[in-house]
């Protein structure tokens, strides 16, 4: 017993140990705060959690769920990128192969798809909860704006991911979606003011989304790059801001 | 309450995880392979009991050892051809049908009419049968399948279906320069199309396309009747006659040496009528026309394969050269014979001053 304690003391006195665990276990308020703040991983959590914050029935943990699903989608998405090639001649075949030939590939693909649907649902419910509890009011009005941007980005992630299987469902969904873009005022060639501003089929928002005047290889590549790189990076950056502002705007909202 | 809910959801997660793992280890297709290898093993065991020869027994035992530990795996046929999006196709094709339909002997037996011309490992399955070749579960793989010949024939809604299939045959074929026209004698089941006989065509076309029909009926339809009276045909044996059949009959089969109809009738140029006749019967004449009008693709006229190739009657020349009883002109160039004899008669009777200078001069010399 003494030997074990001796080794533990020896270990905790080493330079390496002290570099990692910098603040010991002294149970004072200050030390507990230091433990959290001086660790890059732990500092993501608040030093102190108000009692009402752990009550599930106020927030329903919807924001947290959304973020968890986002992380899950990132992991499964990266795994899917190992098998999927965004080439019009291969995309659909790759997806079928994923379903039938890759071990647990079907689980990978279906869970990514269902999680995508789930994220849209939880993010909507999250917004509804924030609205109903009045948590968008000052001082949290800026975070509400960030939240709206994140909602739009979630929809865009869902939209761009829809084309990637390159099946009939996705193809026609993108056809409808981008044609709606074409009818948008100012930005689309079919919308109001298009002629006035010289917006044509080859320079409007639809052209930007499709990379051409019709759905073809560039559209798939654009959807892929936006889905896997562009939007996740922007959404991730905004999420950092969003979570940071939750803390800075008075902690997680609770009952008055 | 909360604990029970937690327990329940944990159990659900565990069960679903186990189901996924089971699905990975025991896929749907595996049971077919298990069944197949089991059958094979039993057959070999039975054989083993009845054989006595030492060598044979050893061979069968080696086979048995292999069958006792079979390797269950996905089997696939990688199909040739560039199926690009630009051609409204969805990428490289792969037929995995043989993963479940694993008994090749059984397949060969049920495909005996086509397996020789379209080996499974080159042409795959989906070119005729449809469905999703990549897929490995029954519902998805058999979606839009043409299971029997009846279903395949029902697929013939318009001529393009057939043309598309010929095209795909040409793509899949191992020889690079194969064109769709090489498969023009195939019907939608991949078998050789049947010759319907000119009688079927005549039912409508004597009235419909009278000048064309009359012209051909008078001359080329009678072609076989003419050669039937030719001395070299009568004297010749079956091998000699086969050379006549090649051009003077309809639907001559080089392998069997048989023909479908005497004389150069409709289907000699328009191709076997099974598909287009059925289109016309069903009131889809315009679709039938598309197929019947690919006549030039049959290369019946000239070239090296067609009937009007040079030196096509060389063997006849030899016969008449050797024979002393027959006037070569009478049988070999009856038209010239007639013109010359008419001209000579006129000269004899004195009605005509001299032979028409425009008369074609024959340049065929017979050395006796």
Give the per-residue pLDDT at B98. Answer: 94
Within an 8 Å CB–CB cutoff, is residue A90 touching chain B? yes
- Please check whether residue A242 is in contact with residue A44, taking contact to mean a CB–CB distance below 8 angstroms: no
In a domain, A21, yes or no: no
In a domain, A180, yes or no: yes
Chain A residues with CB inside 8 Å of B24's CB? 103-104
Within an 8 Å CB–CB cutoff, is residue A103 touching chain B? yes
What average pLDDT does range A62-91 have in this prediction?
95
- Please state which of the ranges A116-120, A133-137, B317-321 shows the lowest mean pLDDT: B317-321
Shortest distance between the Cα of B91 and any Cα of chain A, in A, equals 4
Summarised one tens digit per residue, pLDDT across range B239-262 is 888 888 888 889 888 888 889 999
What average pLDDT does range B56-65 have in this prediction?
88
* Percent of chain B residues past pLDDT 90, beyond the cut: 40
* Whether B85 and A88 lie within 8 Å, measured CB to CB: yes
In a domain, A256, yes or no: no
What is the Cα–Cα distance from B355 to A12, expressed in whole angstroms? 131
pLDDT over 80 (residue B46): yes
Summarised one tens digit per residue, pLDDT across range A19-58 is 888 887 888 989 888 888 888 888 888 888 888 888 888 8
Within an 8 Å CB–CB cutoff, is residue A189 touching chain B? no
In a domain, A51, yes or no: no
Shortest distance between the Cα of B255 and any Cα of chain A, in A, equals 41
Q: To probe the interface with B, which of A93, A100, A102 has the most B CB atoms within 10 Å?
A: A100
Within an 8 Å CB–CB cutoff, is residue B20 touching chain A? yes
Within an 8 Å CB–CB cutoff, is residue B6 touching chain A? no
Interface of B with A in 262-301 (CB under 8 A): none
Shortest distance between the Cα of B9 and any Cα of chain A, in A, equals 17
Determine the length of chain A.
Answer: 256
* Whether B91 and A217 lie within 8 Å, measured CB to CB: no
In a domain, A137, yes or no: yes
For chain A, where are the alpha helices, taking DSSP H only?
A: 2-12, 15-20, 29-37, 56-59, 62-81, 91-100, 105-132, 141-163, 168-182, 194-197, 205-210, 217-225, 231-248
- Please check whether residue B257 is in contact with residue B180, taking contact to mean a CB–CB distance below 8 angstroms: no
* Whether B135 and A91 lie within 8 Å, measured CB to CB: no
What is the Cα–Cα distance from A186 to A256, expressed in whole angstroms? 45
**Which residues make Cβ contacts (< 8 Å) with residue B68, sequence separation at least 6?**
B41
For the CA atoms of chain A, what is the radius of gyration? 24
Chain A residues with CB inside 8 Å of B20's CB? 104, 107
What average pLDDT does range A170-193 have in this prediction?
94
In a domain, A197, yes or no: yes
Shortest distance between the Cα of B85 and any Cα of chain A, in A, equals 6
Q: CA triplet B38, B43, B47: central angle to 5 degrees?
A: 145
Domain count, chain A: 1
What average pLDDT does range B303-321 have in this prediction?
77
In the structure, what pLDDT confidence band is assigned to residue B219 with cuts at 50, 70 and 90?
Answer: confident
Residue of B85, B92, B135 lying closest to A100 (CB–CB) = B135
In a domain, A175, yes or no: yes
How many contacts (CB atoms, under 8 Å) link A and B?
41
B268 by Cβ neighbours in 10 Å (0-12 / 13-18 / 19+) ranks as buried
For B66, the 3-state DSSP assignment is helix
For the CA atoms of chain B, what is the radius of gyration? 32
Give the per-residue pLDDT at A244. Answer: 92
Which of A233, A91, A107 shows the shortest CA–CA distance to A170?
A: A91
pLDDT over 80 (residue B358): no
Any idea what DSSP says for residue A212?
A: S
What is the Cα–Cα distance from A141 to A138, expressed in whole angstroms? 5
* Whether A100 and B96 lie within 8 Å, measured CB to CB: yes
In the structure, what pLDDT confidence band is assigned to residue B365 with cuts at 50, 70 and 90?
Answer: low
pLDDT over 80 (residue B310): no
What is the Cα–Cα distance from A117 to B284, expressed in whole angstroms? 48
In a domain, A39, yes or no: no
Q: What domain range is A167 assigned to? A: 62-248
């Amino acid at each position: 017993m003494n030997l074990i304690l001796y080794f533990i003391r020896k270990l905790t006195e080493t330079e390496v140990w002290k570099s990692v665990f910098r603040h010991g276990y002294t149970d004072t308020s200050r030390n507990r705060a230091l433990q959290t703040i001086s660790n890059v991983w732990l500092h993501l959590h608040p030093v102190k959690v108000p009692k009402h914050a752990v009550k599930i029935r106020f927030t329903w943990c919807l924001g947290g769920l959304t973020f968890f699903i986002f992380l899950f989608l990132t992991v499964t998405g990266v795994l899917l990128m190992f098998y999927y090639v965004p080439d019009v001649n291969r995309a659909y075949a790759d997806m079928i192969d994923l379903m039938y030939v890759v071990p647990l590939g079907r689980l990978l693909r279906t869970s990514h798809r269902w999680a995508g649907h789930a994220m849209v649902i939880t993010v909507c419910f999250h917004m509804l909860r924030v609205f109903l509890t009045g948590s968008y009011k000052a001082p949290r009005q800026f975070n509400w704006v960030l939240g709206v941007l994140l909602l739009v980005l979630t929809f865009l992630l869902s939209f761009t991911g829809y084309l990637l299987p390159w099946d009939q469902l996705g193809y026609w969904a993108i056809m409808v979606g981008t044609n709606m873009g074409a009818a948008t005022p100012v930005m689309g060639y079919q919308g109001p003011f298009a002629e006035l501003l010289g917006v044509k089929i080859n320079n409007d928002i639809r052209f930007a989304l499709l990379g051409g005047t019709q759905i073809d290889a560039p559209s798939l590549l654009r959807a892929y790059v936006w889905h896997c790189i562009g939007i996740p990076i922007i959404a991730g950056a905004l999420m950092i801001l969003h979570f940071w502002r939750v803390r800075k705007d008075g902690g997680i909202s609770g009952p008055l | 309450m909360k604990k029970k809910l937690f327990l329940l959801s944990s159990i659900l997660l565990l069960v679903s995880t186990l189901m996924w793992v089971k699905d990975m280890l025991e896929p749907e297709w595996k049971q077919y392979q298990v069944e197949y290898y089991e059958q094979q093993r039993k057959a070999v065991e039975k054989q083993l009991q009845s054989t006595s020869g030492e060598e044979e027994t050893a061979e069968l035992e080696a086979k048995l050892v292999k069958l006792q530990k079979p390797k269950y795996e996905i089997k696939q046929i990688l199909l040739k051809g560039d199926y690009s999006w630009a051609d409204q196709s969805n990428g490289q094709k792969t037929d995995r049908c043989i993963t479940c339909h694993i008994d090749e002997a059984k397949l060969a037996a049920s495909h005996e009419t086509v397996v020789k011309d379209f080996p499974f490992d080159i042409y795959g399955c989906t070119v005729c049968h449809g469905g999703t070749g990549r897929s490995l579960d029954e519902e998805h793989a058999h979606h839009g399948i043409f299971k029997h010949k009846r279903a395949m024939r029902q697929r013939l809604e318009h001529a393009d279906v057939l043309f598309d299939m010929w095209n795909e045959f040409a793509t899949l074929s191992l020889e690079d320069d194969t064109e769709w026209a090489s498969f023009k004698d195939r019907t939608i089941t991949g078998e050789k199309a049947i010759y319907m006989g000119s009688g079927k065509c005549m039912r409508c076309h004597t009235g419909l396309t009278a000048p064309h029909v009359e012209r051909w009926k008078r001359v080329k339809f009678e072609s076989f009747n003419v050669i039937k009276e030719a001395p070299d045909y009568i004297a010749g044996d079956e091998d000699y006659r086969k050379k006549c059949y090649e051009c003077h009959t309809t639907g001559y089969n080089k392998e069997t040496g048989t023909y479908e109809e005497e004389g150069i009738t409709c289907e000699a140029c328009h191709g076997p009528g099974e598909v287009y006749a059925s289109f016309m019967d069903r009131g889809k004449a315009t679709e039938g026309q598309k197929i019947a009008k690919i006549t030039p693709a049959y290369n019946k006229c000239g070239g090296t394969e067609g009937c009007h190739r040079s030196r096509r009657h060389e063997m006849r020349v030899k016969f008449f050269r050797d024979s002393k009883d027959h006037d070569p002109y009478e049988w070999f160039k009856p038209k010239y014979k007639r013109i010359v004899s008419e001209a000579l008669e006129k000269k004899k009777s004195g009605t005509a001053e001299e032979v028409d200078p425009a008369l074609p001069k024959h340049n065929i010399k017979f050395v006796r």
